[in-house]
Amino acid sequence: MDKKNLMKIIIGAVVLVGVLFLYWKFDFSKNASQISKLKGEFDNVNTQVNEARKVAARMSEYIERIKVLEGQLKVANRMLPDSQMLEDIIDTITLYANKNNVKIMNIHPTGIAVTSEYGSVNQELTLQCSFSSLGTFLTDLGNQKRIAKINDISIKPIKTQSENLHTIQAVVAVSTYYKGPGAAIEKKEGKDDKKKK
């Protein structure tokens, strides 16, 4: 090998090393930071995809839960009428009293309580009956479609029994609930108060 060819090889090698160094310095290092950034973004998206896959795997379970909740909401809507319906309350109480041989001595309204979501009609019932008929009456009242809550009950024996069937007197505090107009009633009361002043 002569000196000219050796010099060409050395010069070619130096130029090649120089070109590689410049490529690494200006292009590859710049791309390396971009690659690192993209890798981080990929890892982040990959984590989100894995979380979405977990949710997707349980989607049928969520759909079933939603169906159950929708069914419960329909039942609740039937149990909470859109208005107070006082006549219906009294009719229902009377119907169950007659069915269970309970004598209604007095129905005393004790007020209406209103929140932004629902209202309750509160009444105090004075009843004469036997223990067993009181139990079946309260069971029927609790099992009706409309929500009814027994807030308080006091029982005392009847001293002068005109009928054997009526051995006790019970005073029962009952609340029945309704939805919707509760908020409107609350606002109307506020407006009326301002007009009176």
pLDDT, one tens digit per residue, over 122-133 is 889 999 988 889
Owner of token pair 């006549």: 87
Give the tokens for residue 79.
């149990």
Q: Does residue 187 have a pLDDT over 50?
A: no
pLDDT of residue 124: 93
Residue 114 CA to residue 181 CA, distance in Å, equals: 9
What does the pLDDT look like over 5-15, one tens digit per residue? 777 777 777 77
CA distance 138 to 69: 28
Distance CA 29, CA 178 (A): 71
Provide the CA 195 distance to its chain's centre, in angstroms: 38
pLDDT tens string 46-92: 888 888 888 888 888 888 888 888 888 777 766 666 666 777 788 88
pLDDT above 50: residue 189: no
